[in-house]
């Protein structure tokens, strides 16, 4: 058993052939992950008890001859912004360093019902705010392919674990690119589903109108299986969709001939040359597969970063208000009056980036400025969504880079928030429009740094997105 390169299919076949039991696999996966973790700091903590009891349930089902589920025995990592009952959930923040949630996120429940085995919780930027994983209160994550570089963020731990082979699958969250960008930087597959496709119940809110839970995996097929498990209506999240959940693996049939693809010119302007060359080669591969690629324009893209950083910070400032030292968070030791207690707790607990966003968000929501900033940003958001809707009248899918550059050095951008924000330039548009989008590996630079190709489709058209990504993945493998 090659633990670091296992696939969902291999786990299923191995269990079926009794080459290993789910408990044996879980033990080995935990041992391997704990041994490898110091190299990356991808996991913040492990959940061996929970993993072993989930694995034991899988073995019992198999012994009884029952179907143990599509993820039976599969080792999974969960980003630490997604709550797990009885297992610490820190959100990468000092404020929640000791927080043990009393309930499970819906995605976590579904994952375990499908037989998945949660090994532990992965590192991330504090409350998912960041693009490099350097905003974690528990230290940065190192890119497993280049240890002096960032893994991307904010789901850097989840992407690194999958790339490092210390999990077969991982759950991440994406508000402005936090699944696709680290997937691109670490050379794995990352999927941001349609807004509402996966319940947000139990996902710690950052910017509620933009937050998504989604899969990270080493193959398109594995990501498609995981999305099928976690997707679907949840009464606990009013924004979750009741649209039926197809079997996403049905669409991995290679039939991409004649698909019309759009290549937005606004996404090709600021690329580093190597990224540009790899994307061009990726587009050539798609043409060879019989896709028809045409140039399109998404003119409102120019305003996307500004629009996102107004809406996301506004919502964040409101969502962060609950961390007041009264309920679940740490409380400052130097607290006198109630308002001093609030101030000291929040002052000591939040990291610099969260504070910056709370201030920005509070400012853009303040009475005199609401119309000038927040309302205007909402209008721009509508324009961005309209650009996509118009493009999809002409094309079936859009292809683009995920990031203007590959993984950068640790520390390179941390003192320049604007440069950091600009690394999201190609990913935040998909979140603002609420459409499904993903990153699929597209090759490596001369220095061995992975570059991801982004695929975006119409609302709920995950099947065509997976179809294209899978055909692309296979063409590259040959
Ligand atoms: N990098 C973006 C930000 O800092 C996106 C984060 C995310 O998707 N959670 O807000």
Which CATH number characterizes residue 155's domain? 3.90.1300.10
Residue 156's pLDDT band (cuts 50, 70, 90) = very high
Instruction: Give the mean pLDDT of 388-408.
Output: 98
Residue 297's pLDDT band (cuts 50, 70, 90) = very high
Give residue 162 CA to ligand 1 midpoint distance, Å.
Answer: 20
* 186 domain-assigned: yes
* 77 domain-assigned: yes
Instruction: Give the mean pLDDT of 255-277.
Output: 94
Provide the pLDDT for residue 261.
98
Tens of pLDDT, residues 338-384: 999 999 999 999 999 999 999 999 999 998 999 999 999 999 999 99
264 lines ligand 1 (CB under 6 A): no
User: What 3-state DSSP class applies to 109?
Assistant: helix
Structural domain containing residue 125: 3-251
Place of tokens 């927080």: 99
* 227 domain-assigned: yes
Instruction: Give the mean pLDDT of 415-433.
Output: 92
Give residue 53 CA to ligand 1 midpoint distance, Å.
Answer: 34
The protein residue whose alpha carbon is closest to atom 10 in ligand 1 is 129
> At 169, which helix (H) or strand (E)?
strand 169-174
Residue 335's pLDDT band (cuts 50, 70, 90) = confident
Instruction: Give the mean pLDDT of 255-282.
Output: 95
Residue 331's pLDDT band (cuts 50, 70, 90) = very high
Distance CA 223, CA 469 (A): 11
Provide the pLDDT for residue 85.
98
Percent of the chain with pLDDT over 90: 95
Look up 297 and say whether it is catalytic: no
* 399 domain-assigned: no
pLDDT above 90 for 298: yes
Instruction: Report yes or no: 145 and 449 within 8 Å, Cβ to Cβ.
Output: yes
* 436 domain-assigned: no
Look up 121 and say whether it is catalytic: no
Lowest-confidence pick of 273-277, 295-299, 324-328: 324-328
Predicted TM-score (pTM) of this structure: 0.98
Distance CA 440, CA 474 (A): 11
Instruction: Give the mean pLDDT of 412-440.
Output: 94
* 47 domain-assigned: yes
* CB environment 402-420: b (16+ within 10 A), e (fewer): bbbbbbbebebbbeebeeb
pLDDT above 90 for 436: yes
The candidate with the shortest Cα–Cα distance to 171, out of 211, 218, 215, 129, is 215
Instruction: Give the mean pLDDT of 217-245.
Output: 98
HSE-up (13 A, CA, CB side) for residue 120: 24
Percent of the chain with pLDDT over 70: 100
Q: Tell me how many domains the chain contains.
A: 1
Distance CA 415, CA 412 (A): 8
* Cα end-to-end span (Å), the chain: 24
Residue 1's pLDDT band (cuts 50, 70, 90) = confident
* 275 domain-assigned: no
Give residue 384 CA to ligand 1 midpoint distance, Å.
Answer: 18
Provide the pLDDT for residue 379.
98
Selecting among 178, 184, 219, 332, the annotated active-site residue is 178
Distance CA 231, CA 226 (A): 9
Specify the ligand 1 atom closest to the Cα of 424. Answer: 1
Choose which residue among 128, 200, 304, 351 to substitute to test ligand 1 binding: the one with the highest number of ligand atoms within 8 A of its C-beta. 128
Provide the pLDDT for residue 275.
96
Provide the pLDDT for residue 334.
86
Provide the pLDDT for residue 270.
83
pLDDT above 90 for 419: no
Selecting among 47, 93, 131, 154, the annotated active-site residue is 154
Count of helix runs (H) and strand runs (E) in the chain: 15, 11
Task: Output phi, psi for 141, to 5 deg.
Answer: -105, 145
Provide the pLDDT for residue 91.
98
Tens of pLDDT, residues 159-177: 999 999 999 999 999 999 9
Encoded tokens for 125: 């930027």
Look up 79 and say whether it is catalytic: yes
The candidate with the shortest Cα–Cα distance to 92, out of 158, 161, 36, is 158
Mean pLDDT of the chain: 97
Tens of pLDDT, residues 52-85: 999 999 999 999 999 999 999 999 999 999 999 9
* 76 domain-assigned: yes
Provide the pLDDT for residue 271.
86
Specify the ligand 1 atom closest to the Cα of 129. Answer: 4
Provide the pLDDT for residue 158.
98
Contact partners, residue 122, CB within 8 Å, separation at least 6: 42, 43, 44, 77, 78, 79, 80, 155, 157, 158, 160, 161, 170
């Amino acid at each position: 058993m090659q633990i670091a390169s296992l696939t969902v299919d291999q786990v299923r076949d191995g269990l079926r052939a009794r080459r290993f039991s789910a408990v044996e696999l879980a033990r080995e996966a935990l041992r391997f992950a704990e041994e490898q973790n110091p190299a990356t700091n991808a996991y913040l903590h492990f959940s061996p008890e929970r993993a072993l009891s989930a694995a034991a349930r899988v073995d019992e089902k198999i012994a009884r001859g029952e179907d143990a589920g599509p993820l039976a025995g599969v080792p999974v990592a969960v980003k630490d912004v997604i709550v797990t009952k009885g297992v610490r959930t820190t959100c990468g923040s000092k404020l929640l360093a000791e927080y043990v949630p009393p309930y499970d996120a819906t995605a976590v429940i579904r994952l375990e019902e499908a037989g998945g085995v949660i090994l532990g919780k992965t590192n991330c930027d504090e409350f998912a705010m960041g693009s490099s994983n350097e905003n974690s209160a528990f230290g940065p994550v190192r890119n497993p392919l280049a240890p002096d570089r960032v893994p991307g963020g904010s789901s850097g731990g989840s992407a690194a674990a999958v790339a490092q082979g210390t999990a077969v699958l991982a759950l991440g969250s994406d508000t402005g690119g936090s699944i696709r960008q680290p997937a691109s930087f670490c050379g794995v597959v990352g999927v941001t589903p349609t807004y509402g496709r996966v319940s947000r119940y139990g996902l710690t809110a950052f910017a509620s109108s933009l937050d998504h839970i989604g899969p990270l995996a080493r193959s398109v097929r594995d990501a498609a299986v995981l999305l099928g498990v976690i997707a679907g209506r949840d009464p606990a999240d009013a924004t979750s969709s009741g649209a039926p959940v197809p079997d996403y693996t049905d669409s991995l049939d290679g039939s991409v001939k004649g698909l019309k693809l759009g290549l937005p010119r606004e996404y090709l302007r600021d690329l580093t040359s190597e990224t540009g060359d790899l994307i061009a080669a990726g587009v050539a591969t798609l043409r060879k597969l019989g896709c028809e690629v045409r140039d399109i324009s998404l003119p409102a893209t120019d305003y996307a970063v500004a629009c996102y950083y107004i809406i996301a910070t506004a919502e964040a400032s409101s969502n962060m208000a609950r961390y007041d030292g009264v309920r679940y968070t740490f409380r400052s030791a130097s607290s006198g009056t109630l308002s001093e207690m609030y101030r000291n707790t929040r002052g000591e607990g939040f990291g610099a980036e969260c504070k910056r966003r709370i201030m920005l968000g509070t400012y853009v929501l303040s009475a005199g400025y609401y119309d000038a900033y927040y309302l205007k940003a909402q209008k721009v958001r509508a324009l961005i969504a309209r650009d996509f809707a118009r493009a999809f009248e002409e094309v079936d899918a859009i292809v683009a880079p995920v990031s203007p550059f590959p993984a950068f050095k640790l520390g390179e951008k941390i003192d320049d928030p604007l440069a950091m924000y600009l690394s999201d330039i190609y990913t935040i548009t998909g979140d603002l429009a609420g459409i499904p989008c993903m990153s699929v590996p597209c090759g490596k630079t001369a220095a061995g740094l992975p570059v991801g190709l982004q695929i975006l489709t119409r609302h709920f058209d995950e099947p065509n997105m997976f179809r294209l990504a899978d055909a692309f993945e296979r063409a590259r493998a040959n």
